[in-house]
Amino acid sequence: MNLLLILSNWKHYAAETATASPIMTDKSPTIDRPREHALSAGLLARVFHQPSLLYFNAVATHLSIREAARRLNVASSAVTRQVAQLEDALGIALFLRDKRRMRLSPAGEILFRHSRRLTAPMEAAVSEIELLRGVRAGVVRIGTVESVGLSFLPRLISDFGQRYPRLTIDLSIMSSSEVVERLVEERVDIGFGFISKPPRQVDIAFRRDVHIGAVMVPGHPLASAENLTMDQCLDHALAVARPEISIREVIDPFLRRSGAMLPPMVEVNSIRMLVELALGGHYLSIMTPIGAQNEIADGRLLFKPLTDNGLPTNRFGILVRNGSALHLAPAIFFDHAKSYFEELQLPGAI
């Protein structure tokens, strides 16, 4: 159970109870919205303690009235009315509506950033109360890079789900930079990514340094090479990650050693595509072995670490927000994940 489900039982309460403020009902005379000036602080406080803020959060999360209504188990018209009332109370538009598309206005971005912080403790409290009752309900929001999401997390989540079947996992695949961004914005609880210098708001709670190298088929001309270097790799068809993937920042200076221009290569924004290109036999892919460990284990691919002087390792970590304790459900998942990775033999780990 979460706060949105609890809220769905309030749909007969909603804005119809707001008799102390000049918020419109369906029988009110039509006026232009939003008003030119916000309500007084006292009246705004009453507005924010109604469901309006949670309805707004649902729309801001999904950028869809229809999806927000489905999640809240209410009519779309009720969601529209609550958002309109909130806009009227604040005296400013919270969403920009362009044909079929919705997006947050600057004011909406500000409100959403703060309202998440207001509702998150109540969400956590409901989850923890359910845990105390033995229902073991709760949500763990995870952001992860693709290589970890496609390799280790499926088994980790399966093990966790068998142990805690009533806990919900909300998993998103993204770049390492977005994992950090969402942690700072409190949009995920736990992150998995590659990062060497996190911002002060993020802590690497568990870390492993992993070699960067070339992944190739056993029949590739460089399969038998010892002390493989990037210069040797540049003489062959090469596949590398695009700049939005964290490893590219690490290897870019070594790719450019032969000149100011990058050599011809395939650039992709998917670790899985790097693996598939290597499996094809023509390309060797510059990456860590994470994401290709199954193919390496069954002998279809080889991983050869690069030995270039000055080439750093890539740091894998479990990331959390610094200075704030995890709520109960995420804390349970974090302990499970930490134990899992402590016992796991990461390919290419130092």
Out of 113-117, 157-161, 274-278, pick the least confident.
113-117
pLDDT higher at 125 or 289: 289
Euclidean distance between CA atoms 167 and 170, whole angstroms: 10
pLDDT in tens, 14-35: 333 333 333 333 343 444 556 5
Q: Is pLDDT above 90 for 222?
A: yes
Q: Is pLDDT above 60 for 251?
A: yes
pLDDT in tens, 114-158: 887 776 776 666 666 666 555 456 789 999 999 888 888 999 999
Tokens standing for residue 20 = 């102390």
Euclidean distance between CA atoms 229 and 37, whole angstroms: 65
pLDDT given for residue 17 in this prediction: 35
- Around Cβ 196, how many Cβ atoms within 10 Å? 16
Q: What is the mean pLDDT of residues 304-318?
A: 89
pLDDT given for residue 312 in this prediction: 86
Q: What is the mean pLDDT of residues 294-302?
A: 93
Euclidean distance between CA atoms 15 and 316, whole angstroms: 48
pLDDT in tens, 84-112: 888 888 888 999 987 778 889 999 888 88
pLDDT in tens, 195-218: 877 888 898 888 888 899 999 999
- Residue 175's nearest CA partner among 112, 242, 113 is 242
- Residue 139's nearest CA partner among 150, 128, 148, 147 is 128
Q: Is pLDDT above 90 for 299?
A: yes
Q: How far is CA 138 from the centre of its chain?
A: 18
pLDDT given for residue 303 in this prediction: 95
Strand-pairing partners, residue 168, are 139
pLDDT in tens, 326-343: 888 888 899 899 888 888
Q: What one-character DSSP code corresponds to residue 349?
A: B
Q: Which residue has the tokens 């509506």?
A: 97
Q: What's phi and psi for 58, nearest 5 deg?
A: -65, -45
pLDDT given for residue 1 in this prediction: 41
Q: Is pLDDT above 50 for 67?
A: yes
- Around Cβ 135, how many Cβ atoms within 10 Å? 12
- Buried-exposed string 82-117: b where 16+ CB fall within 10 A, e elsewhere: bbbbbbbbbebbbbeeeeeebebeebbeebbeebbe
pLDDT given for residue 298 in this prediction: 93
Q: Which domains does the chain have, with CATH numbers?
A: 3-115 (1.10.10.10), 136-207+316-343 (3.40.190.10), 212-312 (3.40.190.10)
How far does the chain reach from its first CA to its final CA, in angstroms?
42
H/E run at residue 271: helix 271-279
Q: Is pLDDT above 50 for 51?
A: yes
Give Cα separations from 264 to 161, 246, 255, 256, 288 (angstroms). 45, 20, 11, 11, 21
pLDDT given for residue 126 in this prediction: 64
Average pLDDT, the chain: 80
Q: What is the mean pLDDT of residues 155-180?
A: 90
pLDDT given for residue 127 in this prediction: 63
